[in-house]
A = this chain, B = another copy of it.
Amino acid sequence: MLRIITQWTEAKTELRRICDRTHDDQVVHKEATVREVLQAVKRLGDRAVLDYTLEFDHQKIKPEELRVSGSELDAAYQQVSKELLMAIQQARQQIEAFHRQRVPKSWVHFGEDEIVLGKRYTPVDRAGLYIPGGLACYPSTVLMNAVPAKVAQVPRIVMVTPPGKDKVINAAVLVAAQEAGVDEIYRVGGAQAIAALAYGTETIPKVDVITGPGNIYVTLAKKLVYGTVGIDSLAGPSEVLIIADETANPVYIAADLLAQAEHDSMAAAILLTTDSTLARKVVDEVERQLMDHPRRTLTEKAIAHYGLVAIVDSLESAAELSNDFAPEHLELEVDDPWALLQNIRHAGAIFLGSSTPEAVGDYLAGPNHTLPTSGSARYASPLGVETFLKHSSLVQYSPIALQKAANAIDILAKAEGLPSHANSVLFRVRDQLNPET
């Protein structure tokens, strides 16, 4: 089921195909639908939001039901087990501890001639978090989005998530949102939720930045509203790439590959190894672990289409293939992972050594699990506090500093054909040199 490739060029080709798996031709058609949803919500507000919720999510919601009520929020705590609440609290605490490290701070620098230069960091006024719903329930995703916004001191954190059967939102999701400090929650998903956050409606506030993963409609909507608001990234299906040598345990590797594949039939699970014996054992072990897997059909589909084992001649070759792929998750299941790390240039999160399955990072270690997918780790970073901060440059010149700079500015402004740029400096300097005029 899980294929083994031994040819370098074939491995490269297959990895390219898997990396590009989201670029399907139906996107243009779906984009037309999403554009229509965006326009309708922009024009009609709540009414359009509710109509699309009925059409797409089959839930008939009244305007006053859009916002999740205080009693519903309270009730959620009664519906989760004590163990789950404690696990959510532990995860929140560890995610916060990691995100509090090295948060960018405002600074000014005092230079010669009383020049002051600096950067001033401030949070966005409002953040909007999209949390997927449907079959799954992701309290961990709530924490991973809300905690960095809270650490950034965003004054108003708004969450949207699609209503399930009987308009219900999963209790664990509601508890996680409260533990993380989300200020308000709306029962809406899909492109209509993104539209509501981007433009605002009577009930749902317009925000400044929208984060969080979603299906293809949500992702297309985020791309289209980018520029009206900020977004974190365009998330594609999840992926793991594991580099393993002969010291790796095939049972662990198989579980790690399946932990990726069980997310989504489009998820990718790739092993690059120098050890052909390990490769065969992993293939067998994947079959074995799949046998009684509760999500067997979906997981098998992912493994069949986007699963791959490639045998490579060295760990350096594996790193080269991995850099081309730029995986969202990279596991280095090798004897000396820190040595191999030096060869890695692009990856969302890197898990080092045999006691660090990706699941540690998905839930508890602290670093964010919202990571660049589909090769975007070539240029993008994990979600973080920075996603909810922006900065302004600060510049203050003194009269003497301006005099010294005037000549160079005059020359550059005139070279660019912008005389008022030059004048804005020259008028000031002239007055300084002849204060009586």
Contacts and interface: CB of A to CB of B under 8 A. Distances in A.
A347 B377 contact: no
A128 to B, nearest CB: 11
Contacts of A412: 84, 87-88, 91, 139-140, 363-364
B411 A84 contact: yes
Nearest to A379: B230
Contacts of A407: 87
A401 B94 CA distance: 13
A292 to B, nearest CB: 9
A200 interface: no
Interface in A270-313: 289, 293-295, 299
A40 to B, nearest CB: 16
Interface stretch (A52-60, A188-196, A422-430): A422-430
Interface residues of A, number: 124
Contact of A83 (B341, B356, B411): B411
Interface string A137-168: 11110000000000000000000000000000
A382 interface: yes
B409 A364 contact: yes
A435 to B, nearest CB: 12
A107 to B, nearest CB: 6
A126 B63 CA distance: 49
Given A402-B355, A413-B363, A262 B377 contact: no
A405 interface: yes
Nearest to A83: B411
Interface in A396-421: 396-399, 401-402, 405, 407-409, 411-413, 415-421
Contacts of A88: 412
A242 to B, nearest CB: 11
Contact of A420 (B84, B259, B378): B259
Interface string A346-385: 1111111111111111111111100110101111111000
Contacts of A75: none
Nearest to A358: B424
B259 A421 contact: yes
A256 interface: yes
Nearest to A88: B412
Contact of A424 (B255, B263, B401): B255
Contact of A337 (B371, B396, B408): B396
Given A91-B408, A139-B412, A421 B293 contact: no
A68 interface: no
A356 B223 CA distance: 37
Contacts of A102: 104, 107, 119
Nearest to A419: B294
A44 interface: no
A423 B337 CA distance: 22
A101 interface: yes
Complex A-B, nearest 3 residue pairs according to Cβ-Cβ distance, in ascending order: A230-B379, A367-B393, A258-B420
10 contacts: A84-B415, A230-B378, A261-B420, A262-B418, A293-B420, A352-B394, A357-B428, A359-B425, A381-B390, A381-B391
